[in-house]
Amino acid sequence: MNELFTIVQHFHPQGTVTDIRPLGTGLINDTFRVTTAEPGAPDYVLQRINHHIFCDVDGLQRNIEAVTNHIRRKLEAGGAEDIDRKVLRFLPADGGKTYWHDGESYWRLSLFISRAQTFDSVAPYYSYNAGQAFGRFESMLVDLPGSLTETIPGFHDMELRLRQLREAVRTDAAGRVKEVGRYLDEIEQRADGMCLAERLYREGSLPKRICHCDTKVNNVLFDEEGGALCVIDLDTVMPSFVFSDYGDFLRTAANTAAEDEQDLGRIGFDWDVFCAFTQGYLDSARAFLLPVEIENLPYAVALFPYMQCVRFLTDYLNGDTYYKTAYPGHNLVRTAAQFRLLQLVEERQEKMRAFISANV
Ligand code: GN1
Ligand code: MG
């Protein structure tokens, strides 16, 4: 822990640091809350960036700076108040970059947004606000000059994720392929349909935009009244299809259970959350969305449980090398839970289509 105190000092925080303790439940980075003594000094969030997954930390932080500065300027131009609660602010470290390399790990420090809350599941009212927040996030970035790095190349490329799964099956590094035949069949049956986005992109009819690409419900900060304050966890902000942001939020928020629920009977699809989120998203994004993007939103709701099922299963077959796991078989439990959710979404495709056409 002393080591963490030393690292924080490279960012020259205001006030005296009195406490540093783990924060949140992310599966990739290690996150800590940094508390300062003085009432006037802010608290901070310290993160160790997982550079085995995000290999180009410099490019990643340049993306985040470009995005947060752009949003900050827009908020300022629009006369917004309390801007440090609406967009993340990263501190420069010694050397001038917004990260510090201690020879082994990469670290970054941002302002802690106080009086904010995160949730692993939300009521419809919150979902409407979150939908609006993600639509606004994308719309503020439609005119971002220059291009962003793909911090994980092909991150939401379904064709790539399937190739990675097939490779894991071929290698069978952990000797687990024999246990998962049922999931492999279910996945292969749907593979063609699920790669629709890549086909539309190749034909030139579907654009990539700057998306958040990890819109899990716990990556939105809400204020005390349930308003969406700020979108966090910006490592994966990159060019992608809008399906990423729309689909991944519903994957987590509309699921009535956790993404790793063991009792499949508890997994449900919350229709009211779907409706509220969709309305919020369309209210702030309909001005820039193309018909092909709107028409395929129901596909996006299925795509993300499917993709996550493929990714968790791939990691299971590879011997659990990517996601943090809490117990043996955790990635297989996650696979089963995502597959169950996918089935529930598939049953509701027509109903979703009707709701979206009535609300555009
Ligand atoms: C990871 O970092 P975290 O826990 O918010 C993952 C997402 C997955 C998610 C599944 C870089 O997100 O893509 O959807 O776990 N992030 C990365 O819970 O792989
Ligand atoms: Mg997160």
CA of 131 from ligand 2 middle (Å) equals: 17
Please indicate whether residue 25 or residue 92 has the higher confidence score (pLDDT).
92
Residue 264 CA: distances (Å) to CA of 13, 261, 284, 314: 46, 7, 34, 20
- For residue 305, count other CB atoms closer than 10 A to its CB: 29
Handedness of CA 308, 314, 320, 321 (dihedral sign): negative
Average pLDDT over the chain, rounded to an integer: 95
The arithmetic mean of pLDDT across residues 333-345, rounded, is 98
Quick one: what percent of the chain has pLDDT higher than 70? 100
Name which of 178, 66, 61 is nearest 108 in CA terms.
Answer: 61
Q: Quick one: pLDDT at residue 27?
A: 83
Q: Quick one: pLDDT at residue 146?
A: 85
213 backbone φψ class: left, alpha, beta (φ>0; ψ -120 to 50): left
CA of 162 from ligand 1 middle (Å) equals: 17
pTM of the model: 0.92
The pLDDT confidence band at residue 44, using thresholds 50, 70 and 90, is very high
197-234 per-position pLDDT tens digit: 999 999 999 999 999 999 988 899 999 998 999 999 99
State the Cα–Cα distance between residues 124 and 85, nearest whole angstrom: 23
Residue nearest to atom 5 of ligand 1 (CA): 26
State the Cα–Cα distance between residues 79 and 90, nearest whole angstrom: 21
Residue nearest to atom 7 of ligand 1 (CA): 214
Residue 101 CA: distances (Å) to CA of 35, 56, 58, 77: 22, 13, 10, 34
The arithmetic mean of pLDDT across residues 54-69, rounded, is 96
Q: Quick one: pLDDT at residue 26?
A: 79
Please, are residues 346 and 280 in contact by the beta-carbon 8 Å criterion? no
The arithmetic mean of pLDDT across residues 74-103, rounded, is 95
Please report the atom of ligand 1 found closest to the CA of residue 236: 11
CA of 185 from ligand 2 middle (Å) equals: 30
Q: Quick one: pLDDT at residue 354?
A: 98
Residue 109 CA: distances (Å) to CA of 45, 106, 221, 252: 6, 11, 17, 27
Place of tokens 């901070």: 44
Please, are residues 35 and 114 in contact by the beta-carbon 8 Å criterion? no
> Is residue 308 in contact with ligand 1, taking CB distance under 6 Å?
yes
Phi, psi of 115, rounded to the nearest 5 degrees: 50, 35
> Is residue 236 in contact with ligand 1, taking CB distance under 6 Å?
yes
> Is residue 156 in contact with ligand 1, taking CB distance under 6 Å?
no
Please report the atom of ligand 1 found closest to the CA of residue 50: 11
Residues 6+ apart with CB under 8 A from 160: 154
Closest ligand, as measured to the CA of 219 = 2
> Is residue 245 in contact with ligand 1, taking CB distance under 6 Å?
no
> Is residue 26 in contact with ligand 1, taking CB distance under 6 Å?
yes
CA of 110 from ligand 2 middle (Å) equals: 15
Q: Quick one: pLDDT at residue 1?
A: 65
